[in-house]
Each structure stands twice: as structure tokens, then as C-alpha cells.
Structure 1
């Protein structure tokens, strides 16, 4: 895989996570079934950790493309970030009739860039649908399970 696809992925997820880091903590303070209130310090810790995981996934695949685990980790992140743009960002914006932070970068960066990377991987026979679906599910569920734990850790570290 060309290194610039890795750079594009990292660029997209970084800008997306910066958008969330700037506006999501305040947005979360308003009553919502989509997001429990989270402080800036809790969210910033979690988003930095998730961003590091994304970079780890991308560079693991770049430097070890023969590793099935590295490939699954990377394509799982690609798929998860596409789904993340729709659920919760787009759905929250529509249902709340209020912009959900992360929607713009999710729709304009994560979906097109990650879709392009996935398309390139399919065109080079590097992945099959089963791998994409399973890895997206596993990485997505793992990230969802990890986020509340990271919020708690972020709150404890910053309150010390």
C-alpha cells in the first residue's frame, strides 16, 4: 500500500478528532440520548488515546503489510470511522436538529478518504468483504467499549 494512503487516513482522523476535541465537551453538556456529559479533560484524554491507536493501526499495516492482525486492525479503523460519521454524528444532528461536532470532518474527510483507501485495497486484492465487515465490527465494538473507560481514566488523571 502506498504510504500516502496512510498519511491521508491519519490526516482525516486527526482533523476529525480535533473538531470533536474543540466542540464536543461543551455540546455534550446539553441533555442528549446520544452523549453523556463529558468534561474537556475526560474527552481530550480519550480522543488522544484513540488517535494514537489509529496511528498505531495505520503504521503497523504500513510497516508490516504481511501481518493479518495489522491489516485487520487498520481496515477495522477505516470502516469504524466511516460508520462513526453516520452513527452517531449524522443521526444526532438530524434527530436533535443541532449540529453534532465531528459531522463535517466525518462527512467531508473520513468517509471519502477511508472509502478511497478501502477501494484501493479491494482493487489490489488486499482485502475481501468478509475481512472488512468483521474487522469493522470488532474494532468498532472495541472502541465503543473502550471510550467510557478512557473517560474515567481521563477524569482521574486530570483530577490528581
Structure 2
């Protein structure tokens, strides 16, 4: 399972790099469901969320007997699967224009995370209730955290008007 956790970290890193490069500019389109975000705001939030994802994998690897570590990791796996569909795929369909993060979400996050979840089911590490509950809890926590992280990221924005 440890090697699989490393693949999760690789997938989420590549996904967040794709978003970091293109999402701040993409968000300036005046979308009803996406507030415009500056690169500093987004990059700060992305770094924190990536660090949290890495921590979830770290805790799962080094504390395999901890239910909290397992649920946190499984919750991140599930949340990132859902994230590939809502908002990335949905935004691309609605806008008829590519939403940054879609390719890495569909080609990396979904297959890698589903494979890890499948292996966890096969090893009897999780059941459906744990998967659903942890995915909902981590997903909602991340959704609540993102606006706060954007505000913190904005505080670290330096205005260089001279």
C-alpha cells in the first residue's frame, strides 16, 4: 500500500501543477460558479491542500493501524475522484471550453485513486460506509477550507505599484 500512496501523491501533484499554471487566468472569465482568483491566492491554497494530501498519505503509511489516518487518506482519494468530475468535467461541458485540471483529473486522479481504493477493499482495509463517510467529510472540509486559504493567499500578495 505504501507504493500506492506515493502514486496518489504524484497524481495530486501533477493535477495541482496543471491547475496552478492555467486556473488563475481561466477563473477571470466572469463565471457564475467560479470567483476570479489571483495566482498568489490560488498557489497558496494549492500548496496547502497538496501538503495536506501528502500528510494524509504520510500518516496512512507510517500509522497503518490508525483509523483516523486511514479515513483521512481514503477521504482524500474519494474527494479527488469527485473533484475530477465536479467541477472540472462539469465546467468543461457547461462552458464548452477546457477547464484546467480536467486531463490530470481524468487520466491520473480517477484511475490511480480508484485502483488504490479497490486494493484497499481487497485487503479489507475499508468498507463502503468508511469510503462514503470519509469522502464526504474530507470533501466538505476542503470546500470549507478553500475560501479561507484564498484569503490567506491574498494577504501574502504584494502590490508592487511604484
Q: When the two structures are superposed, what TM-score results if normalisation uses the length of structure 1?
A: 0.98
Q: Which residues of structure 2 form unaligned runs of 5+?
A: none
Name 1:92's counterpart in structure 2. 91
Name 1:9's counterpart in structure 2. 8
User: Once the 2 structures are TM-superposed, how far is the Cα of residue 159 of structure 1 from its aligned partner?
Assistant: 3.2
Q: When the two structures are superposed, what TM-score results if normalisation uses the length of structure 2?
A: 0.96
Q: Distance in 1 between matches of 2:33 and 2:131?
A: 26
CA RMSD of aligned residues (A): 0.8
- 1:26-45 counterparts in 2 under 5 A? 26-45=25-44
Name 2:62's counterpart in structure 1. 63
- 3-state DSSP class of the match of 1:159? coil
Q: Distance in 2 between matches of 1:82 and 1:40?
A: 24
Q: Is the 8 A contact 1:34 1:88 kept in 2?
A: no
User: Once the 2 structures are TM-superposed, how far is the Cα of residue 158 of structure 1 from its aligned partner?
Assistant: 2.3
Q: Distance in 2 between matches of 1:141 and 1:51?
A: 16
- 3-state DSSP class of the match of 1:34? coil
User: Once the 2 structures are TM-superposed, how far is the Cα of residue 33 of structure 1 from its aligned partner?
Assistant: 2.1
- 3-state DSSP class of the match of 2:34? coil
Name 1:18's counterpart in structure 2. 17
Q: Distance in 1 between matches of 2:53 and 2:8?
A: 9
- 3-state DSSP class of the match of 2:65? coil
Name 1:104's counterpart in structure 2. 103
Name 1:137's counterpart in structure 2. 136
Q: Which residues of structure 1 form unaligned runs of 5+?
A: none
Q: Distance in 1 between matches of 2:133 and 2:141?
A: 12
Task: Report runs of 4+ in structure 1 exceeding 6 Å deviation.
Answer: none
